[in-house]
Amino acid sequence: MTCAGTIAGMMTGLVLASSQPVVIGTEAPFPAYTYVDESGVISGFERDIMDHICQRQALSCTWQLANFDELIPGVMSGRFDIVLGGMAVTDDRRRLVDFTQSYSSSDSEEWYIGRPGSAPPAAALIGVQSGTVHEDHARRMGYDYQSFPTEPQVLSALVAGTVELALGPYSTRLDIQDFVDANGLDFLYSDIIPDDGVAMAVCQGNTDLLDSLNAALDAMRADGTLETLESRWFD
């Protein structure tokens, strides 16, 4: 497919028109990838990556917040030019969008949190966030699950007892560890959910923008910028 109403229709050759805004869509309650800081600014590892890319490629970049399950449909429809937010690269998603090269690995072991003594996933009602690999996994496994638009809603449902377990990208996050400790929860079970790393996505066929993003990522990898940013946010 081609992009509808995006920057793709305004470009010629491999040169992006810097006067045209590039709209970046993300969900931002996911430290350290993207989150809204205390001053209300989108921050994180991927914010820093995009700031470097926009500067290097002379792109006029703007940011918009959206629920995670709106990101891929949004880039397909032309609402966004780029979407990101700790987005795992999977074959299912590759059928819908084009991904840049991966710039971060992801832990394929994903954890269920819940109250000690809760039933295992095959016998429990699981809360997951809509549009995530965790929702896809619960569906493929035939688990009983309930989807919520945002991660905070998943966690609130767990505390309220609406669901018995929550499955998500929890294991390496200090904010989730604090939440678990504060609510008498624990990391109870885990599943392997394989992917091909974390990347940003553009509409299929938007090769000019994709090439520009990958060129910048290549340069950032070569000059050590990616390594510096990864150390800043994950070490």
CATH number of the domain where residue 133 is located: 3.40.190.10
pLDDT of residue 3: 55
Q: Is the pLDDT of residue 8 over 60?
A: no
Q: Are residues 125 and 95 in the same domain?
A: no
Q: What confidence category does residue 128 fall into, taking pLDDT thresholds of 50, 70 and 90?
A: very high
In a domain, 140, yes or no: yes
Alpha-carbon distance of 45 to 128, in angstroms, equals 24
In a domain, 217, yes or no: yes
Q: Are residues 97 and 51 in the same domain?
A: yes
In a domain, 1, yes or no: no
Q: Is the pLDDT of residue 9 over 80?
A: no
In a domain, 145, yes or no: yes
173 CB-near residues (< 8 Å, 6+ apart): 31
Return the SS3 of 207.
helix
Q: What confidence category does residue 16 fall into, taking pLDDT thresholds of 50, 70 and 90?
A: low
Q: Are residues 125 and 159 in the same domain?
A: yes
Total number of domains in the chain: 2
The pair of structure tokens assigned to 212 is: 């520009």
Q: Are residues 80 and 129 in the same domain?
A: no
159 CB-near residues (< 8 Å, 6+ apart): 183
Alpha-carbon distance of 74 to 72, in angstroms, equals 5
CA 155 to chain centre: 18
Q: Is the pLDDT of residue 113 over 70?
A: yes
Alpha-carbon distance of 201 to 213, in angstroms, equals 10
Q: Are residues 219 and 184 in the same domain?
A: no
Q: Are residues 13 and 31 in the same domain?
A: yes
Q: Are residues 76 and 120 in the same domain?
A: no
In a domain, 2, yes or no: no
DSSP characters over 123-175: GSEEEEETTSHHHHHHHHHT-EEEEESSHHHHHHHHHHTSSSEEEES-TT-HH
Q: Are residues 79 and 147 in the same domain?
A: no
Q: With both helix axes pointing from N to C terminus, report the angle between 225-234 and 45-56 in degrees, rounded to the nearest 10.
A: 160
Q: Are residues 181 and 209 in the same domain?
A: no
Q: Are residues 67 and 182 in the same domain?
A: no
Q: Are residues 100 and 214 in the same domain?
A: yes
Q: Are residues 71 and 145 in the same domain?
A: no
For the chain, give the mean pLDDT.
Answer: 91
Q: Is the pLDDT of residue 103 over 80?
A: yes
17 CB-near residues (< 8 Å, 6+ apart): 7, 10, 11
Q: Which letter, b or e, does each residue of 47-73 get, where b requires 16 or more Cβ atoms within 10 Å of its Cβ?
A: bbbbebbbeebebebebeebbbbbbbe
Q: Picking from 12-26, 32-46, 119-133, which range would have the lowest pLDDT averaged per residue?
A: 12-26
User: Is the distance from CB of 135 to CB of 168 less than 8 angstroms?
Assistant: no
3-state helix, strand, coil in the chain (%, to 5): 35, 25, 35
pLDDT tens per residue, range 158-196: 999 999 999 999 988 889 999 999 999 999 999 999 999
Q: Which of 176, 192, 208 is a domain's end point?
A: 192
Alpha-carbon distance of 171 to 58, in angstroms, equals 37
pLDDT of residue 171: 85
Domain range for residue 133?
109-192
Q: Is the pLDDT of residue 205 over 80?
A: yes
CA 108 to chain centre: 14
In a domain, 165, yes or no: yes
In a domain, 100, yes or no: yes
In a domain, 230, yes or no: yes
Amino acid at 91: D
